Amino acid sequence: MFTKFTAFDQIPKAQQSGALELKDGSWAVTDVSPDLATLQTSVTNLENTLKIVRREKDTAEGAAKKATEAAADARRQLEAVAATGQQTDQKITEMLAKWQKDTETAVATAVAAKDKEITSLSERVTKYDLDDVLGAAFKDAGGREERRTKAVQQAKFDGWSLVDGKAVKKDATGQVLTMTTKDFFTGDFKKEVPEWYEGSKGDGGGPGAGGGGPGAFRDGGVIIPSKMSSEQRRAFIETNGPAAYTDALNKELVASTMPKPGA
């Protein structure tokens, strides 16, 4: 239903906003029933309320988002602190392990250096002290100066060594003998190589010297090291090498343990 007005000013102010102008210049206004007016008011109120609720929702969502972000940030900070603590512990552990390894390496290097130094000093002590003692004893026994070095070498090969700073002779089992350097160089050694001493008419020095001539230490072509004189042994080793001499000793030892024919 419509109410028609000939002029706009005739329309009630409350209805002017909804008036429609007709072709003949008059105005028409939709009749609003009390129920429709109430409904329109209710809709308006609902729309206003919805706007308020939406604003409150947006505010709540914004606050919730900020709270979530703050919580996430706090959690990241806590995790970072925890991780930093773990990394610190790990770094400390690694540093301690490296320090221990470096210390052990340094100690081992220092010990090795000292061991090398001790070995070197021991070798020097042995060389100078033992060689000097044996050389002096050889000279005192009438040994010739040009044979001094060889005499010292042969004496050490025969078992002379330095024990607690004293020159001693050991037997094949390693037992220390009571023989003195004087006894050694004036006894059998001199008998075996008399040409190494002053007053000797010959200078020999070959494999058979001082020991009964070439082949004196052979039995049917087999080498018998126990029959070698010191000079023969020295010459054999110089000619054939220590390994050949050791091999000959082993063969003689094996032969001595074998039962003899007819036994």
Distance, CA of 196 to CA of 146 (rounded, Å): 8
In sequence order, what are the residues at sequence separation of 6 or more whose Cβ sits closer than 8 angstroms to the Cβ of residue 16? Answer: 8
Note the pLDDT tens digit of each residue in 78-91: 777 666 666 677 77
Domain that holds residue 226: 207-256
Element (H, E) at 240: helix 230-240
Whether 220 is covered by a domain: the verdict is: yes
Whole-number Å distance between alpha carbons of 24 and 195: 167
pLDDT of residue 213 exceeding 60, the answer is: no
Query: Is the residue at 219 inside a domain?
Result: yes
Residue 186 falls inside a structural domain: no
- Assess if residue 199 is contained within a domain: no
> Does a structural domain hold residue 139?
no
Percent of the chain with pLDDT over 70: 74
Per-residue pLDDT tens for 156-212? 988 999 888 889 999 888 899 999 999 999 999 999 889 999 875 444 444 443 334
Q: How many domains does the chain have?
A: 2
Task: Tell me if 40 is assigned to some domain.
Answer: no
pLDDT per residue as tens digits for the range 27-58: 887 776 555 456 556 657 767 777 887 888 88
pLDDT at 203: 43
The Cα 115–Cα 101 span in angstroms is 20
d(CA 37, CA 190): 152
Q: Evaluate whether residue 150 is within a structural domain.
A: no
Q: Is residue 217 part of a domain?
A: yes
CA distances from 241 to 125, 149, 157, 209, 248 (A): 27, 19, 14, 18, 11
| In the predicted structure, residue 238 carries a pLDDT above the cut 50 | yes
**pTM, full prediction:** 0.35
